[in-house]
Amino acid sequence: MSKPLTDQEKRKQISVRGLAGVENVADLKTNFNRHLHFTLVKDRNVATKRDYYFALAHTVRDHLVGRWIRTQQHYYEKDPKRVYYLSLEFYMGRTLQNTMVNLALENACDEAIYQVKTYLQIFQDGGTGSAEEADDWLRYGNPWEKARPEYMRPVHFYGRVEHHPDGVKWVDTQVVLALPYDTPVPGYRNNIVNTMRLWSAKAPCEFHLKDFNVGGYIQAVLDKNLAENISRVLYPNDNFFEGKELRLKQEYFVVAATLQDIIRRFKASKFGSTEVVRMDLTTLPDKVAIQLNDTHPAMAIPELMRILVDDEKLSWDTAWDITVRTCAYTNHTVLPEALERWPIDLFQNLLPRHLEIIYEINRRHLERITALYPGDYDRLRRMSLIEECGQKKINMAHLCIVGSHAVNGVAQIHSDIIKDTVFKDFYEVDPQKFQNKTNGITPRRWLVMCNPGLAEVIAERIGEDYIRDLSQLKNLLKFVDDDALIRDIAKVKQENKLKFAVHLEEQYKVKINPNSMFDVQVKRIHEYKRQLLNCLHIITLYNRIKKEPNKAWTPRTIMIGGKAAPGYHTAKMIIKLITAIGEVVNNDSVVGDRLKVIYLENYRVTLAEKVIPASDLSEQISTAGTEASGTGNMKFMLNGALTIGTMDGANVEMAEEAGEENLFIFGMRVKDVEALDQKGYDAMEYYNRIPELKQVMDQISGGFFSPGEPDLFKDIVKMLMHHDRFKVFADYEDYIKCQEKVSALYKNTKEWTKMVIHNIAGCGKFSSDRTIAQYAREIWGMEPSLEKIAAPDDPR
């Protein structure tokens, strides 16, 4: 068994993360102590781990600030077209180490902290356990963000609309203030630092002394809380849409604040004079691109129209031309229940002016469709922005398509599906709008940062330029039969597994066999992602080991992680089933360490950075045609895990890049799923025909995994047997056979690792650098720049 390198040994290595001599270690030590004393007002007698983390964060942030300011100055002078990527949520991951990697500071900071006897490892996990609590991430402050109260903007809700000869007025509104917080986002060693701007809701005024009586005070507190609830907690969103007013408020809040910010910045002259402003808003699309990340920021379309028509007094046609040329829409799901449809009465109450604008957009849109397809009333119904069946609702995806100049999916199969089925009518009318932009991942976080050992092994063979140009990974194919590379990659994997085994033992009090196959499925818990298919395999494998305990089984540690939306009952029951199976399997002395089942609690980016480099097998087993793309599949592939998966999402392109023979592909293709839908899926047919499947289902339904509550999983059993839209049983046989191939190959370390090399070499396409360059050229009308800004002066 390979012994992992100590941190001190790693520090001595020449690493792609930068040498300790690049930055003055003495200066970093001085700045660290300065922040501990003068920013945090602590000394080492009373400082906590969190204080040390904050001191280092502020020290590293000092090196960002000059670059951040210089970047904004550069943009101001050059006046380039700006892209505004509107999203309701960003899964950022930890900022400290990512920043150190991108600024080439990691080894210098590592050495500086080591020298002050407070080694970096103590706060790589965030300082204390409480710092990792995702639900209260601002409890102790955020050293990376900067409040910008000077750019606070009013956001209006409710009220009524007045129509006057000189225009339309939205009056008697309730106002909430949007306070921006900026987080620096550094590029990789190019001195460029862009900005992520988040908005916090604030009540519009403080208490008035004249109202300071008991009743007035209490009401003021209630009103303040009500206003600030908008950004207190993001309304949980999964692939189920719930039409709640708070969610719509959140969506409009971020859009309204951002658009005011965009217009303000657009109008400002580069010369900085308040007297000289750019007033010709018809040039907005030449300087501004707005990318709508799914339908959550769809309100940008009617809000921009409101600003242009009501506030800027442009004609409807001019305003519409500007809006369409400025906005573009990325679709992220084909599941009908996930597509946002807002009730008309909710809109009428909360955003009355925007409802009028959407009605007018729809009227003009349907006039165009009528002209193209006279008499085709069914097409009009299908393409309308307003759904009339039952409760009247606004289809936000239709609004996005009509109001954007480009519409894209996030994997080729996904983009084909939205053209062929989900948005087929719209594609037939405007085929030029529809594109594909396959997702990507950043190799800086998902290789250099989280798997430095593998990054170094690769750099030793092909150099370090692949970090900026991931397509260079294909050069690894020249070494696919090289015994030294095969040995080094296998060694790095084993070291990562040993480290993760230690982490599991510390965090979960579970001891696992690091020589077992680490079989991992980590993603949101959802029926279409088919964690249940994984469960069926686990139970089948358990039954086989129990039946033939003396057989030479390939040992597996199966790890499943993910979060369920709060109101998603089935997802929560899936988690209960996983843990119940684990209770039985892990405590069975006959099975021993040949099979372990671990549910990874609180799965998040930070945990992903640990488990993905340690994984041998990546489970990507959604029903064909349901996963838009996935990015976890790419992260596992880049980190040397082999994929068992269906031909769904980006799996299809992964198989094209690495060779289908280098993935474990099983199950129905999209056409097979469609054919089964036509025929009619009958789960009972599979249950009655496949003895092992019948045994597994009988165990679940009979209380084998829940002896104290035999009917605990009755809802899951009922769903699988009678109304499973995702056809788990249809792929069961092929999945089990494919898993047998996985177990057989895993015994041959050399051949397994050669397949790993093919996969890593095939990852070049899946860099976010490639994805963003395609967005820039093909949607935003921009040429990506590789220009490196001059480094600022010493931050001190």
Q: Which residues are catalytic?
A: 332, 523-524, 529, 631, 635
SS3 406: coil
How far apart (Å, rounded) are the C-alpha atoms in residues 15 and 453? 9
How far apart (Å, rounded) are the C-alpha atoms in residues 759 and 767? 14
Question: Which residues are paired to 435 by β-bridges?
Answer: 408
How far apart (Å, rounded) are the C-alpha atoms in residues 183 and 194? 8
How far apart (Å, rounded) are the C-alpha atoms in residues 558 and 534? 9
Long-range contacts made by residues 150-156, C-beta under 8 angstroms, separation at least 24? Answer: 151/180, 151/261, 151/264, 152/177, 152/178, 152/179, 152/180, 152/202, 153/177, 153/178, 153/180, 153/256, 153/257, 153/260, 153/261, 154/178, 154/204, 155/201, 155/252, 155/253, 155/256, 155/257, 156/256
How far apart (Å, rounded) are the C-alpha atoms in residues 583 and 598? 9
Angle at 378 between CA 375 and CA 382, to 5 degrees: 130
Do 45 and 29 contact (CB within 8 A), yes or no?
no
Angle at 524 between CA 520 and CA 528, to 5 degrees: 95
Tell me the CA distances in angstroms from 735 to 87, 373, 748, one per residue in order: 36, 46, 21
How far apart (Å, rounded) are the C-alpha atoms in residues 177 and 148? 12
Pairing type for strands 174-186 and 153-157 reads: antiparallel
Q: Which residue has the tokens 């009009």?
A: 380
What the block records as the tokens of 769 is: 């650098």
How far apart (Å, rounded) are the C-alpha atoms in residues 323 and 282? 10
Give me the half-sphere count of Cα atoms (radius 13 Å) on the Cβ side of residue 129: 3
Within 8 A by CB and 6+ apart from 426, the residues are 383, 398, 401, 402, 407, 433
Instruction: Give the chain's length.
Output: 796
How far apart (Å, rounded) are the C-alpha atoms in residues 126 and 51? 10
How far apart (Å, rounded) are the C-alpha atoms in residues 419 and 439? 18
Could you tell me which of 213, 87, 98 has the C-alpha nearest to residue 144?
98
What phi and psi, each to the nearest 5 degrees, are found at residue 282? -65, -15
Do 687 and 721 contact (CB within 8 A), yes or no?
yes
How far apart (Å, rounded) are the C-alpha atoms in residues 468 and 213? 62
How far apart (Å, rounded) are the C-alpha atoms in residues 5 and 151? 49
SS3 733: helix
